[in-house]
Amino acid sequence: MKKMNNMSTLRRKGLVLINARVLTLEEANPRAEVVVTDGARLLYVGGQDDVDRGPFNDREVIDLRGRTVVPGFIDSHLHLMELARSHSGIDLTGCKSIKELLSLLKEEGSRLPRGQWLVGYHWDESRWEEGRHATLEELDRACPANPVFLKRICLHQALVNSLALRRAGLSGEFTGLFYNPKTARPTGLVQERAKSRVESCLEFSEQEMLSALEEVQKRLIALGITSVHHISSNSSLIKKFAETGKLLLRPYFCPTWDEKTGVAWYPGEEMPPSIKSGAVKFFTDGSLGAHSAALLEPYTDEPDNLGQLYWEEKGLKEALIPLHKAGHQLSLHAIGDRAILLVLDAMEEVLERYPVKGHRHRMEHCELVPEGAIERIKRLGLTVSAQPNFVSMWGQPGGLYQKRLGLDRWRRMNPLAEFLRGSIPLVFGSDGMPPGPIYGIHSAVNHPVHESRISPMEAISCYTKAGAYSSFEEDSKGTLRPGKLADLVVLSHDPTTCLREEIRDITVVMTVLDGQIVYNNLKEETPP
């Protein structure tokens, strides 16, 4: 077979994939052996004995030798702009200590011109040896000549040095600016409004961002992702990226609600055909990592802290009602149990006053689920958009969630199986922490609380069929049947037959998007 480049834009009449284990996600025809595409659509999905071999002559025939084919993965919660911006700074994902962090800052600062911003992304102090944040004084010593902005992996907090605070004009009683009670000096930690104030001082050129988006797209496609629910406060860059002709992914654009302008700009804004308009996103609390998720009982490791609600119920309802009445899908970020109850109380009144069938409003994250909430979510017809990768990152015994919440609440986190038992539509995304459906499937199937585990096929459905449903696109993607879009992924092994603990080792060997092979790492050797 001819070796192909990792990214190919050559359009062929079609593909024929033979000797495959095809998981179609279609109830009437759940498994197949052959897939034939015709341009951007699926022409045939079925058995090898039944296929008409006539189309083989003018199509590329690929023998998959037992590898597994699934529908293209849909990441239902992603921030493409955040991933693109992170390309401009230091990747702190693998940083294991404050000592290592400071060493990286010194090294990077020595290369930068004096006064230029030093930025970094994806740090997580819960994985640092010291178990604490770096201090303002430590950051000042490591990088005295450059303003520093380091964004936490949860996106809700950042670490900054004194020069960054001065550049942003931050001082006094500013929301999200933390002070040391003993010294009355800033700690170097900022969140929410203060974080946004400092971040607004960073400058990224349009060309820099477009190039970064192209790199992010390559990375996502190599992970088998063909569609994304892109959450952002601004649509201009993704529109410009589409106008370059380089956009391959299928974005479902979900604008974030702005407290000053609402989303008045959104309904009248024309989007290019390659981008579908999506749900309007509201934040009702922060994150557990930042101690800002809103809780009914205090944090175990901060006994005086209940987190933060960003809305009162009345104000939230007043913001939701006009959008709901106008037919917009709603997407509400709620992580802590207090925030989840706020969302349910508000949505109950909205839907009682203005009932609409088939609204498909969403709850994003929905992690610490309070008693009785499952029944209310089902009754309201809400979809839950969960991030199973969080389970592996922070939900393991002794991990961040248990430290923040204690044992009893830890066991209630991310009850994935309970959502499905309650017949609640459950979709999976990553929030970019990190992206990767295989990692997410592994996490959902190997949940540390056995009662919350789901089956591999259920997890695949959450990344495909359910994702298409949540964006009103189930007629065109999410499953493999003739007439649907030719978006599919070839996996090295079948997640439904290998050992649960081996799912994380499965690799994506090919991604087909719009009938084109856009990623190909198919090896010649027969898979084990």
Tokens read off for 305: 């802290």
> What whole-number distance in Å separates Cα of residue 216 and Cα of residue 194?
27
User: What per-residue string of b and e applies to 35-48 under the rule 16 or more CB within 10 Å gives b?
Assistant: bbbbeeebbbbbee
Task: Note the pLDDT tens digit of each residue in 458-501.
Answer: 999 999 999 999 999 999 999 999 999 999 999 999 999 999 99
> pLDDT per residue over 366-389, tens digit each?
999 999 999 999 999 999 999 999
Instruction: Clarify whether residues 379 and 452 are in a common domain.
Output: yes
Domain that holds residue 175: 89-199
Q: Are residues 184 and 266 in the same domain?
A: no
Residue 440 counted as domain residue: yes
Strand, coil or helix: 455: coil
252 with 376, same domain: the answer is yes
Is a pLDDT exceeding 90 seen at residue 235? Answer: no
Considering the domain boundaries, does residue 102 fall inside one? yes
Three-state SS annotation for 473-486: CCCCCCCCCCCCEC
* 238-285 tens-digit pLDDT: 999 999 999 999 999 999 987 665 655 454 467 888 999 999 999 999
On whether both 267 and 372 belong to a single domain, the answer is: yes
Residue 523 has pLDDT above 80, yes or no: no
What distance lies between CA 412 and its chain's CA centroid? 21
| Strand ranges of the sheet holding 68-71, from the earlier edge strand across to the other edge | 31-32, 21-23, 68-71, 488-491, 508-513, 516-520
The three-class DSSP label of residue 471 is coil
Average pLDDT of every residue of the chain: 92
With beta carbons less than 8 A apart as the criterion, state whether 470 and 427 touch.
Answer: yes
- Give the pLDDT of residue 526: 54
Residue 193 has a CB neighbour count (10 Å cut-off) of: 12
Q: What is the mean pLDDT of residues 58-82?
A: 95
CA diameter of the chain: 80
Query: Which of 282, 374, 295 has its CA nearest to residue 337?
Result: 295
Residues 446, 310 share a domain: yes
> Is residue 77 domain-resident?
no
Domain count, the chain: 3
In a domain, 193, yes or no: yes
Q: What is the CATH number of the domain that holds 262?
A: 3.20.20.140
For 43-62, the pLDDT digits (tens) are 999 998 877 777 677 889 99
Beta bridge partners of 159: 150, 189
In-domain check, residue 82:
no
| Number of C-beta neighbours around residue 481 at 10 A | 16
List, for residues 173-216, the tens digit of each pLDDT value. Answer: 888 899 999 899 999 999 988 999 999 999 889 999 999 999 99
* 3-state helix/strand/coil string of 205-248: CHHHHHHHHHHHHHHHHHCCEEEEEEEECCCHHHHHHHHCCCCC
Residue 278 lies in a domain: yes
**Are 16 and 39 found together in one domain?**
yes
> Same domain for 287 and 323?
yes
Q: What is the pLDDT of residues 418-428, one digit of tens each?
A: 999 999 999 99
- Domain's final residue, options 178, 199, 220: 199
Q: Are 242 and 327 found together in one domain?
A: yes
Q: Are residues 270 and 389 in the same domain?
A: yes
| Residue after which a domain boundary falls, among 199, 225, 252 | 199
**117-166 pLDDT tens trace:** 999 999 999 989 998 999 999 999 999 999 999 999 998 999 999 999 99
pLDDT category at 11 given cuts 50, 70, 90 is: very low
Mark whether 380 and 471 lie in a shared domain.
Answer: yes
Determine the Cα–Cα distance for residues 433 and 431; give it in Å rounded to an integer: 6
Q: What are phi and psi of 78, to 5 degrees?
A: -145, 150
- Domain final residue pick, 182, 199, 216: 199
- Tell me, yes or no, whether 258 lies in a domain: yes
Quick check: is 79 in a domain?
no
Give the CATH number for residue 499.
Answer: 2.30.40.10
Tokens of 38: 């015709």
Q: Are residues 110 and 236 in the same domain?
A: no
Q: How far apart are CA 410 and CA 397, in angstroms?
A: 9
- Nearest one of 349, 345, 360, 230 to 294, comparing CA atoms: 345
Do residues 57 and 143 share a domain? no
- Domain CATH number, residue 181: 3.10.310.70
CA distances from 442 to 6, 75, 439, 464 (A): 25, 15, 5, 15
